A = this chain, B = another copy of it.
Amino acid sequence: MSSSNQNVASQLRKLIEDGHYPQGERLGEEAVAEQLGISRTPVRLAFRTLEQEGLLKRAGKRGFMVREFTDADVHCAVEVRGVLEGLAARRLAEHGVSSQQREEFEFWIHKGREVLDKGYLVEEDIQSWIELNWHFHELIVCSAGSGVIADAISRNNHLPFAAAASIVIDKGKLSHEYRKLQLAQLHHELIFQSLVNGEGARVEMLMREHALIGIRYSELL
């Protein structure tokens, strides 16, 4: 069971997200090390990384505990992503979209149409959407002209419920999710329009609203 340093952080992240360690539980270095079959050293390194990511927090004088998240935290994390992606989009609009970026946008928008054009969703579509959605957002963030915004978003996305991929929740009610993705696709296309038109204020507002799909639209669609 080889585990390079970053891999340990990933494993721990997954264990926490999967609820293997309940929120608020205290994590001992020794215990975690034993569970992963490694020594304490890489665990200690991973703890520092996870602490910065906000998944762990210091438990008093000694050790770490799994951070507890309130509903307000979830809402805020989504809003944080909204304002940051909004900032990235506005900068891109103000700076201008290159022809290559334009093509990439069109490619991922086309992919989105492909998923939705048949009028309903199947299981595989969810993974397709997650991927194209990720690429679309990544394209905006990476085109903002500075890694600082990308970093801030990336750090925020370490909170599992904050990432853009968390749009699709309920795999049971696919017909219900279809309308959600339909709206998300509409957002994508509006955002693309605004970007190429250089409408900074509008694209920022659209991005911010787009981020809220996961938490404020569920009961309405």
Contacts and interface: CB of A to CB of B under 8 A. Distances in A.
Nearest to A79: B87
Nearest to A95: B72
Contacts of A151: 54
Contact of A87 (B44, B49, B83): B83
Interface stretch (A120-128, A139-147, A177-185, A188-196): A139-147
Interface of A: 41, 44-45, 48-49, 51-54, 69-70, 72-73, 75-77, 79-80, 83-84, 86-87, 91, 144-149, 151-152, 155-156, 159, 162
A176 to B, nearest CB: 28
A64 to B, nearest CB: 12
B147 A73 contact: yes
21 contacts: A44-B45, A48-B49, A48-B52, A49-B52, A52-B52, A52-B155, A72-B145, A73-B147, A73-B148, A76-B87, A76-B145, A76-B146, A80-B87, A80-B148, A80-B152, A83-B86, A84-B84, A148-B156, A148-B162, A152-B152, A155-B155
A75 B145 CA distance: 10
Given A79-B87, A87-B79, A156 B146 contact: no
A208 B182 CA distance: 32
Copies, count: 2
A143 to B, nearest CB: 12
Contacts of A75: 146
- What's the dominant secondary structure at chain A's contact region? helix
A49 B51 CA distance: 8
B159 A70 contact: no
A72 B152 contact: no
Contact of A72 (B41, B54, B72, B146): B146
Given A83-B84, A83-B87, 18 more contacts: A44-B45, A45-B45, A45-B48, A48-B48, A52-B52, A52-B155, A54-B148, A54-B151, A69-B148, A76-B87, A76-B91, A76-B148, A79-B91, A80-B149, A80-B152, A148-B156, A152-B155, A152-B156
